[in-house]
Structure 1
């Protein structure tokens, strides 16, 4: 058995296959216990089902699209960058998923027409909707498509602080909010202050439009179709909804709101036989592979020191939690938020890091 993997019921090298008098195959295990050979259940949970996965062009979202597709689902993938969507298609096909079972919808998730296209095009092509995975999310600097970019930006600032032994208080709140990554001046400068205030408003609106508003709208559009199939909604939240960080105040608030939204509509939609759950991942290290070696090393070392499991999670690990909640295996689970963060949200950390 592989921890966190798909492999179950592996044979020992000493195991043998024998036949009884009825010529039925059996396995003889190392413990001498005989049982009929059966195909493992992995790979069949979503046969005949249709899933919509937003922002399925990187990391957790892409891993979820691949996993659900491998287990039989027809999948609508979504994103804004054509190159990344093509990469997702290639990875899905290489995983054995038929191109006929893949639909691509491209567009900005905050756009109402994109949301309508996701629902209408999925239903027109596949004739049903069973699963909605709301995985679109924004964090940190606007204009960055990678959550790791914003985190590494903060890490770079912390490296500089540690090397210089000083703290620039004027930059603390702005490290992840400047579009061009450059200082915009002191709060004592009234013009800079007004510009900064406008930027904060825009940042707030963007985070909530993506992290909450788009999710509520798309869920509402999908519910009539999900109701017919006794379907499931899985929202990808964040451990930021459990553990608060000062420089991510808007982001944390949007995730707390999403967690509460999940609980509220789970009650509402239970009568419609639609389950709604959240997954809250912690630090996912796969997206940091392209970062500078100094930042990457600092990032990984910090994780080892401050995450009780001493490592970041993988996109595939989170995808398996999402798949569980989307499947009939979780048929009595609704309104839950599963935190998959290596226990970092319940572990005390130095207050000055974030």
Structure 2
């Protein structure tokens, strides 16, 4: 079998970066994308230093021309796309709903929802033609429950869950699986922003998690690799919460 290829959006930091290395360790050829060219080229160089084929492609998932080019150039470079991880996302402005704005809605939904939809559109076009493929969207526990002070982010992740289910129905008969991973708190800069940059706030929040801690980015990445694999070839249309027991409460 030919060496498989994975495409990862929002790959330059946090979960996306950990996911790139996790797939590289599994022997994948890796296409990574993001909005910062210097950081992207540095990441691709790190992946190649491990012995993997890797390419950085500049893209802003809010713009269809960028996404179309990203998918097309990945196919040109590697011949196919076996796995796609739609990780690009933002928490937007965290504030009570009475302080929310149309501008924050547009920015948050532009990245989290429109970006996921456009990525699915062009990735599935390739995978349906191949007759195979696995797509993993990044949701959140915010796609399953409400969070006070994060209404727009929560709404965007609920939308990602809906996109995941609908796309899965469209791809199932053709051998294209679409699932989501819904992380709880993860030790990234986004978590620090969620708790207002306070170590005291963070400790108090993590004390409410049954596992008593945040996940590492690699723990989320390993779940993504598992969902992408043929070990779960009958799994589609699902959102897997990786949250230390948070949503079980």
Which of 113, 117, 127 is the aligned partner of 2:65?
Answer: 113
Q: Any idea what SS the aligned residue of 1:280 has?
A: strand
> Gapped runs of 5+ residues in structure 1?
1-45, 142-149, 151-171, 175-186, 188-195, 348-354
Q: Which structure 1 residue ranges, 4+ long, deviate > 6 Å from structure 2? A: 288-291
Q: CA deviation at 1:289?
A: 9.9
> Mean Cα displacement is larger for which, 46-55 or 323-332?
46-55
Q: CA deviation at 1:210?
A: 1.1
Assess if the C-alpha contact under 8 Å between 1:58 and 1:88 holds in 2.
no
Q: Which residue does the alignment assign to 1:204?
A: 105
Assess if the C-alpha contact under 8 Å between 1:70 and 1:97 holds in 2.
no
Q: CA deviation at 1:124?
A: 0.7
Q: Which residue does the alignment assign to 1:323?
A: 225
Question: With CA pairs under 8 Å and 6+ residues apart, which has the higher RCO, 1 or 2?
Answer: 2
Q: How many residues align structurally?
A: 246
Q: Which residue does the alignment assign to 1:75?
A: 30
Deviations 1:180-203 (A, max 9, x none): xxxxxxx9xxxxxxxx7xx71111
How far apart, CA to CA, are the structure 2 residues paired with 1:259 and 1:234? 11
Deviations 1:35-77 (A, max 9, x none): xxxxxxxxxxx96111110010001101111111121111110
Q: Which residue does the alignment assign to 2:235?
A: 333
Assess if the C-alpha contact under 8 Å between 1:128 and 1:225 holds in 2.
yes
What is the correspondence of 1:85-96 to structure 2 with a 5 Å cutoff?
85-94=40-49, 96=50
Q: Quick check: 1:270 aligned with 2:193?
A: no
Looking at secondary structure, tell me which structure has more helix per residue.
Answer: 2
Assess if the C-alpha contact under 8 Å between 1:238 and 1:280 holds in 2.
yes
Q: CA deviation at 1:90?
A: 4.5
Q: Which residue does the alignment assign to 2:149?
A: 247
Residues 110, 331 of structure 1: CA spacing in aligned structure 2 closer, same or farther, 3 A cutoff?
Answer: same
Q: Which residue does the alignment assign to 2:245?
A: 343
Which of 205, 217, 221 is the aligned partner of 2:122?
Answer: 221
How far apart, CA to CA, are the structure 1 residues paired with 2:197 and 2:156? 27
Q: Which residue does the alignment assign to 2:51?
A: 97
Using structure 2 for the length normalisation, give the TM-score: 0.90
Q: Which residue does the alignment assign to 2:189?
A: 287
Assess if the C-alpha contact under 8 Å between 1:289 and 1:296 holds in 2.
no
How far apart, CA to CA, are the structure 2 residues paired with 1:289 and 1:246? 15
Q: Quick check: 1:122 aligned with 2:86?
A: no
Assess if the C-alpha contact under 8 Å between 1:49 and 1:74 holds in 2.
yes
Q: CA deviation at 1:245?
A: 1.1
> Gapped runs of 5+ residues in structure 2?
none
How far apart, CA to CA, are the structure 2 residues paired with 1:202 and 1:289? 22
Residues 288, 125 of structure 1: CA spacing in aligned structure 2 closer, same or farther, 3 A cutoff?
Answer: closer
How far apart, CA to CA, are the structure 2 residues paired with 1:87 and 1:249? 35
The RMSD of aligned alpha carbons is 2.4
Residues 345, 83 of structure 1: CA spacing in aligned structure 2 closer, same or farther, 3 A cutoff?
Answer: farther
Q: Which residue does the alignment assign to 1:236?
A: 138
